[in-house]
Amino acid sequence: EALGPQEYTAVKMEVVEWSAGAKNIIGDRVGGRKVFLVAATLRPETMYGQTNCFIGPSIKYGVFAMSDTEAFVCTYRAARNMAFQGISKTRGDINQLLEIDGASLVGTRVKAPFALNPEVYVLPMENVLPTKGTGVVTSVPSDSPDDCATLADLAKKPAFYGIEPAWAGIAPVPVISTPEYGDLIAPELIKRMKIQSQKDVKQLSEAKDIAYKEGFYNGTMLVGEFKGVRVEEAKPRVRERMIEAGLAMAYAE
């Protein structure tokens, strides 16, 4: 864990269609605002490979008015941090429109900025911490072993997790190539390390470290504006592009 503040990229995933459960709770309580699930990531350069979005099913989320035209879905904790980082319209102002549990968000369809899959589904992940980031995680199974293992669990037992099989049936998208692990480092590590599920937290943590270091120091972009560029160099540039496009914000904690 980093000791200083962690610099995330907060990615705005606009709601295209609410799940039936969320629709019931939300009704007309957002006052015509565009609503975004806001995911915190440390790997903005991987956003081309998003296949879905994760929430913690037992986490409480808020829908926060950020302006007259936009509302964000995230934890109260994150909304409070944003209010002091120039993200909400008035400094320190937290305007919670309603509260919603993570389970009700499952099945909502959102836009995935910069991704080759333009829209993705919100799915449940047990390991999402309410105390980190926004409580919303964008899923990139090509480069994140956690995302890859969770998605495989969901695809194996969709009924158990209360999802439609198709929502978890999206293939990993090659985004970064490394000499040692090829074009899909997370699935490759899962295979080599014989990781069975998202419950193998110790091995997943090790896989996560390898994927992070290999990608950063030895990876080359396979897609997007910085195709052919080394990840180390592409990472801040993709982040800047997303921020310029109004699809992301700097977020620290």
Provide the binding-site residues for ligand A2H, judged by CB under 6 A: 6, 40-43, 46, 127-129, 132-133, 135, 137-140, 143-144, 147, 208, 212
Burial of 79 (0-12, 13-18, 19+ CB in 10 A): buried
CB 160 → ligand A2H: shortest distance, Å? 21
Strands 34-41 and 7-17: antiparallel
Q: Which one, 30 or 206, has the nearer CB to ligand A2H?
A: 206
Reduced to 3 states, what is the DSSP secondary structure of residue 197? coil
CB 115 → ligand A2H: shortest distance, Å? 11
> First vs last Cα of the chain: how many Å apart?
12
The alpha helices in the chain, defined as continuous H runs, are 20-26, 76-83, 102-105, 145-156, 158-161, 185-192, 201-218, 231-244
CB 137 → ligand A2H: shortest distance, Å? 4
CB 253 → ligand A2H: shortest distance, Å? 8
Q: In this chain, which residue has its C-beta nearest to ligand A2H?
A: 133
Q: Which one, 107 or 145, has the nearer CB to ligand A2H?
A: 145
Reduced to 3 states, what is the DSSP secondary structure of residue 206? helix
Q: Which one, 33 or 174, has the nearer CB to ligand A2H?
A: 174
CB 44 → ligand A2H: shortest distance, Å? 8
- Tell how far CA 20 is from the center of its chain: 22
Q: Which one, 40 or 83, has the nearer CB to ligand A2H?
A: 40
Half-sphere exposure of 52 (CA within 13 A, CB side): 31
Strands 119-124 and 52-55: parallel
Per residue in 217-246, is it b (16+ CB within 10 Å) or e — as a string? ebbbbbbbebeebebeebbebbbebbeeee
CB 244 → ligand A2H: shortest distance, Å? 20
Q: Which one, 26 or 137, has the nearer CB to ligand A2H?
A: 137
CB 228 → ligand A2H: shortest distance, Å? 19
Q: Which one, 6 or 218, has the nearer CB to ligand A2H?
A: 6
Reduced to 3 states, what is the DSSP secondary structure of residue 35? strand
Longest dimension (CA), the chain: 51
Q: Which one, 91 or 213, has the nearer CB to ligand A2H?
A: 213
